Amino acid sequence: MSKNIIFSGMQPSGVPHIGNYFGAIKNWADLQDDYNCLYCIVDLHAITIRQDPAELHKNSLNALALYIAAGLDPDKNILYIQSHYKGHTELSWLLSCFSYMGELGRMTQYKDKSANNPDNINLGLFAYPTLQAADILLFGSHLVPIGDDQKQHLELTRDIATRFNNIYGDIFTIPEVFTPKTGARIKRLSDPEKKMSKSDGEANYVAILDPADVVMKKFKRAVTDSDTEIRHDPENKPGVSSLLEIYAVATGTSIKSAEADFDGKQYGFLKTTVAQAVIDNVTNPIQEKYNDLIKNPDYLHQVAKKNAEKAAEIGEPILTNVKKAIGLLL
């Protein structure tokens, strides 16, 4: 393929927040003309933790609708559901024979999830990184956009691929970390020194599907400081700085311009204006598109099926080469 391949997997774990949007999804939409992009909704990874079947089914379809609504064109990107292409699980088994127990047991995510779910420490949770390696290597992915919490898994993917290549020749492309030129690390509204997350309650994050009045209420409660000057100073004024950063990315302006917009204004004005910028430029437009898409499940199923077939067109030749290299009878 003439363009480098980017792969990213996303769990259908509910509604993304604006941190997910500004930090990842918005940037992915900017890549679709320059790269061959595969964005996979990884429902098989999700089941390492017990799921309600109806919720998992609904969340997978909703995730597909949300990513399209947020700007990922299903004709320019390969947007599909992981379980719709059997190559993921097939390659995962093959790679498990080249993955070592010790390196899987050292994975931080495995340790954390085991501690949080002591009654369900299953084989899938332990072998999660091998399936993740299969996700990436199946398509000859050159680049993988990841956060700091996933770097350990990508390093393991590279180790497995290198180990396989050292035995059988250059079968796998060794993937690299992809760091977008732009991307915002949005902070929690009630704790602006930490990255926005769903883990500490709804007051900390703004979900893409939050109604406008809820978005406004959350921003009005955002932490600032006892000073009165609105300036970008992350070390001394993390709350105000975070709000300025959100305003800048929501409106497409610079931090310097954002500071000028609020020169001489009060914190209350800052909070409501930032909230309105998010409502006008992010949540309302995405929700409008999402609501139209979710009313048409036949279209979403068609997109998922068509794009799973596209994924298979890329993956099958690589999977066949792996089988041939190992010596499987084809």
Residue 115 clears pLDDT 80, i.e. is over it: no
Catalytic: which of 195, 289, 306, 323? 195
Q: What is the pLDDT of residue 184?
A: 65
pLDDT band at 152 (very low <50, low <70, confident <90, very high): confident
pLDDT band at 183 (very low <50, low <70, confident <90, very high): low
Whether 198 is catalytic is: yes
Residue 182 clears pLDDT 70, i.e. is over it: no
What is the model's pTM? 0.88
Neighbours of 13 (CB within 10 A): 15
DSSP 291-324: HHHHT-HHHHHHHHHHHHHHHHHHHHHHHHHHHH
Whether 195 is catalytic is: yes
DSSP 192-256: TTSB--STT-GGG--BTT--HHHHHHHHHT----S------BTTTBHHHHHHHHHHHHHHT--HH
Residue 251 clears pLDDT 70, i.e. is over it: yes
Which region among 9-18, 94-103, 198-207, 241-250 has the lowest average model confidence (pLDDT)? 198-207
Place of tokens 């914190």: 267
Q: 10 pairs with which residues across the strands?
A: 41
pLDDT band at 199 (very low <50, low <70, confident <90, very high): confident
Neighbours of 111 (CB within 10 A): 11
- Distance separating alpha carbons of residues 3 and 36, to the nearest angstrom: 6
Q: What is the pLDDT of residue 180?
A: 66
Whether 271 is catalytic is: no
Catalytic: which of 3, 76, 86, 113? 113
**Average confidence (pLDDT) over 184-193:** 87
**Average confidence (pLDDT) over 127-132:** 94
Place of tokens 């770097």: 151
Catalytic: which of 76, 198, 289, 323? 198
* Whole-number average pLDDT of the chain: 92
Closest to 278 measured CA to CA, from 223, 328, 209: 209
Residue 150 clears pLDDT 80, i.e. is over it: no
Cβ-Cβ contacts under 8 Å for 118 (sequence gap 6 or more): none
Closest to 131 measured CA to CA, from 173, 160, 102: 160
